[in-house]
Amino acid sequence: MIDVSSTLLPRVVHARAFGDGIDCGDDCAGGGVCAIRMTEDLAVEARFTTNDSHTCQPDTAAVNGPLLQGARLIRFERGRSSRSPCRDAGRMGGGGPPQALSGRRRLRHARRRDTLAGFYPEEAEPLDLLAPPEHGGRLRQAAERFGIPLTDWLDLSTGINPRAWPVPALPASLWSRLPETDDGLERAASDYYGASEPLPLAGSQAAIQLIPKLRPPGRVGVPEVGYAEHAHAWRCAGHEVVPLPDGDAAPWLDVGPERLDCVVVINPNNPTGRRWSPETLLDWHARLAARGGWLVVDEAFMDATPESSVMPHAGRPGLILLRSFGKFFGLAGARVGFLFAEAQIRRRVAHGLGPWTLTGPSRWVAARALEDTAWYAQTAARLARDSERLAALLRDQGLTPSGGTSLFQWVETIHAERIYVGLAARGILIRLFAHPKSLRFGLPGEDGEWQRLAKALASLSEQGESTQVQASAAWSAHADSPAPRP
Ligand SMILES: Cc1ncc(COP(=O)(O)O)c(C=O)c1O
């Protein structure tokens, strides 16, 4: 593999116009098919064909979206064509057929082939599955990449309430004293969530990283499309991660030696918005717990719909519940979350976190916000209205959401990259997903922000910069026909 990580693109270009190609080095025989993958928060893939002088030229038929100014080429993989294999295919480590690989490698190989089906040559090296996932909210990076000042952006790239709980002035002593655990936070959290013994965390992310380390390596079902930190954490802890199609664990629960030891469910899922009924989850939990397995339910986006939570069953052996404070309360910077689990798991997580996991100011703010029942009621109702308003706005632009929660809407479209780039060029940051090609829109806050989003989408539509798969005629008429994914 050649490291081209220092290659920065000079401007927004389509790959077919991408200059003279890239030198693929002396140890390539030439004439092979290579692939370039740019990830970061933007996933763009392009296939290049090497010529005999080792220069990769963009293969226009396979170009899969525009390449962005300042985007970093982070992966350049060489594969073999039937004509002229790269000489170092063996050294790259991905040269053998799946049956020649060990169990774990076979899984990686299969998974990679699944997500990149038909795009890369079969022999190319698997992607680095231990690389940390990308997240929304990286406004500084977007400002630099698109050359738009930070203050001019409308950031819709996260699922965080844009109208946060109003934080009052904090007592000065919070900054000078060590945090104490009997300050009322646990009681406030217990009342708010309706379950005893909450374990405060510096965001539910802290538990997501720790939980996999509490078990010996096993087989863990994780949503194929969902908050990627779960799969990452289990994989880093040595577990075999089985991607579940939008969280459906049912076919995997009791299947002989292939069965799962643990299942992670994100309910409702981020970004798909898929929901699971408490009855289904309790059934899965019972089947896993019967043989010492765990069901982890991440309820980061559950606040506005508490009736769908499995919280009333918190404390059952093998049932681990995670809640995130920052999203509904709009205070993600405070880094607060909670874990609910049986005493033994709770103690082991607490031990892993150590003392003072939350800062004093964060504890103080979270306790008061969780006690503010009037603000909760008003906010839950407003978010339900705003989420529906966002779905309607997107529908009006031919972008019918496939799912959503009270804090975001999710749109699957083959034109995801174009819409992402078109909005970013107008200073609006949303979240782009490569598999499946989709976009997540967070809620605008002020009226002006709603109008700005509607106007930007309408102007994209007029200019034909975007379309949806089953778009209205207006969108389709302007659309470039997309390069089919090979
Ligand atoms: C589904 C889901 N779970 C958990 C988290 C982690 O959130 P936090 O650590 O802020 O509680 C996120 C963050 O975006 C998320 O989307």
> Is 11 a residue whose pLDDT tops 90?
no
The residue among 39 and 306 whose pLDDT is bigger is 306
* 104: in domain: yes
Which pLDDT score, from 0 to 100, does residue 247 have? 82
Ligand 1 atom index nearest CA of 136: 14
* 60: in domain: yes
**Do 101 and 158 lie in a common domain?**
no
By percentage, how much of the chain surpasses pLDDT 90?
A: 62
If pLDDT is split at 50, 70 and 90, which confidence band does 4 have?
very low
> Is 471 a residue whose pLDDT tops 50?
no
* 168: in domain: no
SS3 102: coil
Tokens for 70? 């300042």
Ligand 1 atom index nearest CA of 335: 10
**Do 452 and 316 lie in a common domain?**
no
Ligand 1 atom index nearest CA of 298: 3
Q: Which of 63-77, 108-122, 272-286 has the lowest mean pLDDT?
A: 108-122
CA distance 11 to 14: 10
Nearest to 468 by CA among 396, 399, 390: 399
CB 18 within 8 A of CB 409: no
> Is 463 a residue whose pLDDT tops 60?
yes
* 484: in domain: no
Which pLDDT score, from 0 to 100, does residue 79 have? 43
CA distance 456 to 460: 6
Phi/psi-derived region of residue 65, left when phi > 0, alpha when psi is between -120 and 50, beta in every other case: left
If pLDDT is split at 50, 70 and 90, which confidence band does 219 have?
very high
Pocket of ligand 1 (CB under 6 A): 203-205, 227, 266, 270, 298, 300, 324, 326, 332, 337
CA distance 14 to 27: 28
The dihedrals phi and psi of 333, each to the nearest 5 degrees, come to: -70, -20
CB 65 within 8 A of CB 417: yes
**Do 381 and 292 lie in a common domain?**
no
Distance 310 CA to ligand 1 centre (A): 18
Average pLDDT value for residue range 393-411: 97
The residue among 318 and 128 whose pLDDT is bigger is 318
CA distance 313 to 425: 47
Which pLDDT score, from 0 to 100, does residue 46 have? 47
Q: Which of 371, 394, 417 is the last residue of a domain?
A: 371
> Is 52 a residue whose pLDDT tops 90?
no
If pLDDT is split at 50, 70 and 90, which confidence band does 289 have?
very high
Which pLDDT score, from 0 to 100, does residue 235 have? 96
* 127: in domain: no
**Do 218 and 150 lie in a common domain?**
no
Average pLDDT value for residue range 161-187: 97
**Do 342 and 200 lie in a common domain?**
yes
By percentage, how much of the chain surpasses pLDDT 70?
A: 69
**Do 456 and 385 lie in a common domain?**
yes
Rg of the chain in Å (alpha carbons): 24
Distance 351 CA to ligand 1 centre (A): 21
**Do 279 and 311 lie in a common domain?**
yes
Average pLDDT value for residue range 107-124: 32
Domain that holds residue 18: 13-115
CA distance 131 to 5: 15
Residue 240: give its domain's CATH number.
Answer: 3.40.640.10
The dihedrals phi and psi of 72, each to the nearest 5 degrees, come to: -105, 125
3-state SS, 286-337, equals HHHHCCCCEEEEECCCCCCCHHHCCHHHCCCCCEEEEEECCCCCCCHHHCCE
* 123: in domain: no
CA distance 391 to 396: 9
For β-strands 199-201 and 75-78, DSSP reports them as unpaired
For the chain, how many structural domains are there in total?
3
Cis status of the peptide bond prior to 121, with omega within 30 of 0: no
If pLDDT is split at 50, 70 and 90, which confidence band does 454 have?
very high
**Do 236 and 297 lie in a common domain?**
yes
**Do 239 and 357 lie in a common domain?**
yes
Mutation test residue for ligand 1: of 41, 138, 201, 204, the one with most atoms within 8 Å of CB: 204
Residue 436: give its domain's CATH number.
Answer: 3.90.1150.10
If pLDDT is split at 50, 70 and 90, which confidence band does 360 have?
very high
**Do 56 and 156 lie in a common domain?**
no
CA distance 446 to 323: 27
* 134: in domain: no
Report the chain's mean pLDDT, rounded to a whole number: 78
* 4: in domain: no
Distance 270 CA to ligand 1 centre (A): 9
Q: Which of 40-49, 149-158, 187-196, 388-397 has the lowest mean pLDDT?
A: 40-49
Which residue CA neighbors atom 3 of ligand 1 most closely? 300
The residue among 230 and 107 whose pLDDT is bigger is 230
Average pLDDT value for residue range 51-71: 44
Average pLDDT value for residue range 61-66: 38
Nearest to 379 by CA among 444, 448, 304: 304
**Do 239 and 384 lie in a common domain?**
no
Mutation test residue for ligand 1: of 155, 199, 209, 227, the one with most atoms within 8 Å of CB: 227
Distance 324 CA to ligand 1 centre (A): 6
